[in-house]
Amino acid sequence: MEMDFDGYSIGGLAVGESKPDMLRITAFMHDILPMDKPRYLMGVGTPADLLRNIANGVDMFDCVMPTRNARKGSIFTRYGKMIIKAARYKQDFKSIDPLCNCYTCRHFSRAYIRHLITMNEILGMRLTTIHSLYFYQELMQMARQAILENRYQQFMDEMLPLVDSMVE
């Protein structure tokens, strides 16, 4: 910190450490890193982990999880994780998430996306990736708004039950 960097990276917490250890360390870093500098947590990516680490003062994240999972047919939604390959979606002509405004949800059904993914069509991987990235962007926008409105703890308490089951 004496070198007065423009921001700080926190790494090594997504390579086998337990969730409690990760949160304990980010809470510790929150207490010692300068408040006026951005904090970047590398490789952490479940929606629940993002929300909990925002509460610990983390500003930025990166992770392959939303795109890697999407390409394999595991899609993050506001209702939990959807495994689009499941047989129950074979004749389901609703969108992935009826409340989502992403390109995928506005134009394609679960049944069609399931077909694309099970046939290993690249379009299926693209459509699921579009949705998952949109979901993450929307989640982070809601988190930013809650912070600006000084109601982040309430927002996190409301969202965690929905996203806590979303694991890789």
Q: What is the pLDDT of residues 95-111, one digit of tens each?
A: 999 999 999 999 999 99
pLDDT at 44: 86
- The pTM score is 0.89
Distance CA 31, CA 14 (A): 20
pLDDT score for 11: 81
Domain residue spans of the chain? 8-65+136-163, 73-133
| CA separation for the pair 146, 19 (Å, rounded) | 24
> What does the CA dihedral 104, 106, 107, 108 come to, rounded to 10 degrees?
60
Distance between CA 114 and CA 64 in Å, rounded? Answer: 21
Judge whether residue 4 has pLDDT over 70.
Answer: yes
* Residues in a beta bridge with 75: 82
Measured distance CA(168)–CA(92) in Å, rounded? 24
Q: What percent of the chain has pLDDT over 70?
A: 98
State both tokens at 135: 């979901």
Range of weakest confidence among 54-58, 76-80, 122-126: 76-80
pLDDT at residue 14 greater than cutoff 60: yes
